[in-house]
Structure 1
Amino acid sequence: MKNLFLIAALALIPWAANAQNSNSKFTITPRIGMTVSDFSGSKLKEAYSPKAGFVAGVDAEYNFSKLFGVSLGVFYNMQGAKANAAVLMPGYEPTNNFEISPVNPTTTVIGKNAHIDFDRNAGSYIYLTDFRTDLNYISIPVLAQAHVWKGLTAKLGIQTDVLVSARSKANVEVKYKGVTYFEKSNTDIKDKLHSCVFSIPVGLSYTYKNIELDARYLWGISKVADTKDQNDKDLKNSTFAITLGYRFGL
C-alpha cells in the first residue's frame, strides 16, 4: 500500500511542477471578483449611477511566445445600474385586473438623491424610489495578451454578453383607503432587452507566483435595448471588473 502511494505521488510531481510554470504554452485561470457597473449614453445628466456586482469564471490562454498570447473565457457577470429617480402617482384606482389606473398626472424627478415632497395625507398615491436595474450575463471574452514586463500583462479584445436575467427593482410606498404599505417591486424585464450585446475589454493583470490580479474595463459598444425613449435610446453597459485568480500551466 505504501508503494502505491509513493508511485502516485511520484506521478503527480511533473504535473505539479508544470502547474507552477507560468510560462507554459497553455494556462487555465479560474477567477472570482466584483464589478462596478453603470449605463452610458443617456441624454439625462445624472440619470444613472454605478452599482456593485459579482463576477466569476475562467480564462484559457495559449501563448505563442513569451511575449504574446490569446485567451478565451467564460464568466457569470453582473452588470446594470442604479437609476437616480423618484416617481409619484397621486390618486389612483386599481382596476379589476389589479393594474394601476392613475387619476392625476405622474410626477418624475431625475438626479442624485432624487425625491419628491408631497402631502401624504391628501389621499391615495404610489411613490417609487431607489430604482435599480440588475442585468446578469454569461460573458465570453476573447483577448489578445501582451506580456509586457515581469508578471505584467496588457489585454485587449472583444466580449460577447448573453443575457441570462434582467430585473427592474424599486422601493414602493402605497397609500390606499387610508392605509400605507411599503413594498419592494421586482419586475422581470428580460423580454424588453437585447438578448446579446458586445463590449471591448481593456485591461491589465499582474501575476505573482501564479496568483493573478486582473482589472478590466468593459466598454459597451452595442445598445442594451431598443426603446422609444429618446433620452435612453443609446443606452450601453459600462463596467469595471476586478478579479483574483490562480494560474495553472497545462
Structure 2
Amino acid sequence: MNLHKSDNPIFQRLRFVLVNTSRPGNIGAAARAMKTMGFSELVLVNPRFPDPANEPEAVAFASGALDILQSARIVGSVEEALEGCNFAAAVSARLREFSPPIVAPRALAAQLAGDAALHAAFLFGNERFGLPNEAVQKCNVLINIPANPAYSSLNLAQAVQVLAYECRTATPATPVLAPSGAEIGFQGMNADVTQIDGMFAHLEQALVAIEFLDPESPKKLMPRLKRLFSRTQLETEEVNILRGIARQILALKNKATQ
C-alpha cells in the first residue's frame, strides 16, 4: 500500500535522540524546541543525570514542554534508541573521514516528509565531544547544518530547533489555531473569472467617467491593473467592495452632471 505524507505525517515518524547529554538544561531546552515544532518523541542515551525530568534546570528550560520532558525514554545504548527506526541521521558540525553521506537539513527534511515509510531518528551528541564515531557509523547520513565556518558549533537545543523547524516546514501547511481551537485569520472564497471580469468592466467605466482613463487612448492601464489584481487572488467580497467603489464613483459623476 502506498502512503502519502498526510496518511502518516512526519510528526509521528521522527524521533530525537540525545546521546550522553551532560547538562539537564539542554535536555529541557531540546524538549521545548521539539514541542514548538510539533514533535514529541524524545529518547535519552545515558544522560549524565539519571532523572532529568526532576532536575530543576531541565524543568526550567523546558518551560511549557514538561510533557515532552517527562515522557522522554532513557536507554543504555544507541542501538536501543534506534529500535523501530529504519533510517537514522547523525547531527555533527565535525565532518568525519569515513562518515556516511553528508546531507543538508532542508534536503533531508523534504525526503523524510515525503516518504511515509521512513521512521527516522536524529542523533545529537554530547555538548563538548559530539557524537562518537561508532554512533555516526550506525547512521544512514550525516547532517551538517550550514553555519559560519569560523564558528560552526551550535548549542544542542539550537541544533534540535533548526532540524525540527526544517522538518515542520517541509510538511503541508496547516491552519494556525488559537488556544481555543478556532482558526486564526479570515479566508473568504476566491472570486471566479466571471466576477473578476465584471469588476474590471465596472472599474473601467468609473475610470472613464472621472477622466482618469481616456477610451480613445487607453494605452496599457487596464492590462496593468489586471496584472496588479491578479497577484492578490481576489475574494468575492473584495470584488464586491471594488464594484461598490466604482458604482459610487459613477453615481457621484452622474449627479454632478445633472
Same fold (TM over 0.5): no
More strand by share: 1
More helix by share: 2
Tell me: higher relative CO, structure 1 or 2? Use CA pairs within 8 A at least 6 residues apart.
Answer: 1
